[in-house]
Structure 1
Amino acid sequence: MRSIVICFIIFVGCSNDRSFDRYSSIYELYGDELIETISIDEAEIIDVGNQNYQTIRSPLDAPFDVGLGHWFSVHGESLFIVNYDKKGIKKIDLRSGKHLAKYQFEGEGPGEYRRISYYYSDGQSHFIVDTSLYKIIQYDLGWNHIKDVILEDLYSHPFNDFAFSSNNFYYMSATNEQFVVNKLNLTDQPDFVQAFHRRIIPIGQQPVQYNEVYMDSNGEELAVINPALPFIFIYDREYQIDRILQIKFPGLDLIESNVERSNLQSTGIENNESVLLNPPPIAVETDKRISMNYFIIDILYLNNRIAVYYANRHAELRFLTLLKKEKNNWAHEGSYRFYKDDNTLFTIFSMAYDEPWLYLAGMFEEDIIRVNLSDLVHR
């Protein structure tokens, strides 16, 4: 999904006066009445060892190459993984880890793509998005081409995220001055696009990264996040915002005040460059290069649960958080760290769900974790 760098983000105290809070622009934009705070204490995080989950081992004893975000999907006894080069999709047997098939349709004609930007299957069709060709391609379960749909106003960025809900497809807008997310119905109204989710930074201003979102749908509602903000925006079926969950965890969104140059090397920043690191979510005018360091890796919206994976490589804050909705209220259900047999943390870049199984994968891991969600929350 996205090539990201995880760092700390400065968090300003817990005073009731939010005028000095780095997120004051969010409160002003949406209003306090929509925001529901969920606090997590580090003592609540449960360590899960490899005896408490199953693994799917790569048959080549090499990493599966599952990238950041929605790059794999599970259906029945098969696992579909987008190759790290974004050129094809591998089909893997869930029981044995055996490679069953590879599907590749490179080109620029109908049913073809230059590069896979997103993959999804609803169990009836396969869908591939190519942001460079501004289209979504639909195939049947046998990978026979059904149709191409041109995506008007697509924000063409290599680390875009998308979401599906029934026949609705959600993607980021390039030109809408007020809203960030477009909803397109792929069957009933292929020419009608509905826009929602307010733009935080005006078009043409910096930092544009605060207008980039990850999202997922449970079939009725949509959860939207920005990877550098500790908020989860939940929209109802009419695409009206229902509430905003603000996650508070000590150090989760903290960055070092003095960032060493060595910590910025992986961002491509040269030593002689002047850098503005993770400015607050307000429009700024600067000659400095803006570097955003994200701390949310992926999100899943599962019926009445939301699964979010947080990671901060500087603080070793890597954990899965489950939130559950009961009687119209959201609460922290549990947070979990996953350890391998050598007692090192499993590196998670992407999540998938096929009831009752939650799948966790990482680009550099030889295994994919498979854990029964009910067993996990009842530990």
Structure 2
Amino acid sequence: MKTAAACGLLWASLLAMPAAAHEQPMAYIGIEAAGANTLQVLTKDARRGERTLPPLQLSLQPACVQRGQAEVTVTEEALIRRWQLQCSAAMEAHRLHIDGLNSVRPEALVHIHAGATSRYQRATRDAPEVALTLTDRNATPSVATYFLLGIEHILAGPDHLLFVLGLVLVLWRAGRGVGAWIGTVTAFTLAHSITLSLATLGALRLPPAPVEAVIALSILLLAVELARAGPPGPGREAPPSWTFRFPWAVAFGFGLLHGFGFAGALADIGLPPAAEAWALASFNLGVEAGQLLFIAALLLLRPLGRWLPTAPTAQLATHALGGIACYWLLVRVTTLGAA
């Protein structure tokens, strides 16, 4: 398992370094048929701290005429714009072109709806055009869309993956059985599901900067505990610390903070008004599916342990885990101080 963990750590590290552990933001574009040849447009462009990404530029073919000025709202998470368009044809006769998708913000979620009928389509910098059709053939249910978003969010968020990896290493070092594995993963799942739901529905909010700093600290704590324990061997029992005695409690406690981090992706795009509960549940299930895929990948890499020595591999994984977490913590604390 140590060898598998080291390989998983290398994968997560390569994802982590260019973006400092942040997943790439996604824009949201809502296009609604609001009357005879009239469209209501809403866009959400993510904010990261004091930095607001430039608004996306939208154009329709055939062209439409904007009615009045756009209504602009700035929140902690996004720049929101709303305006109306008067068109010469019905919504389904138009194609939407999006300018502004790039390496920083590579995609947008486009929600096309009229009454109770809607569909979702993802536009990317390589495919920035979307047909504004509502046919059943093109329809994508919101539950499926948010489930896939949940999977992508956890797999593209290396700080969350490294915490899961740290838990795996702690359980392996402590010699815990299947019951402890199930209990620890369940505790982490339950904890971040609670705070993800509360934050997304607006019942409880925490500033993102300190949350991200504590997430980095949670990974560093696991690395320090693993370094103190050292590699396994004859007569080398795991230290009697809370981390090794009650890994489920550590997973639950820090999982509450990780839930606020997961909520960041939903803050970028929001929830569909007619299916908030289903979309939230789907996103959460997607996060769990991605987490299980990561653990399954570690298990598939276990045969590599036959060719690599256990102790050096364990030390490499522990030191790399701690080094990355320390770097993230310093960057995020510095950002927090600047804010």
**Would you tell me which structure has more helix in proportion to its own residues?**
2
Shorter-normalised TM range: under 0.3
Structure ID, larger Rg:
2
Q: Relative contact order: is structure 1 or structure 2 higher (C-alpha 8 Å, sep ≥ 6)? A: 2
- Superposition TM-score, scaled by structure 2 size: 0.27
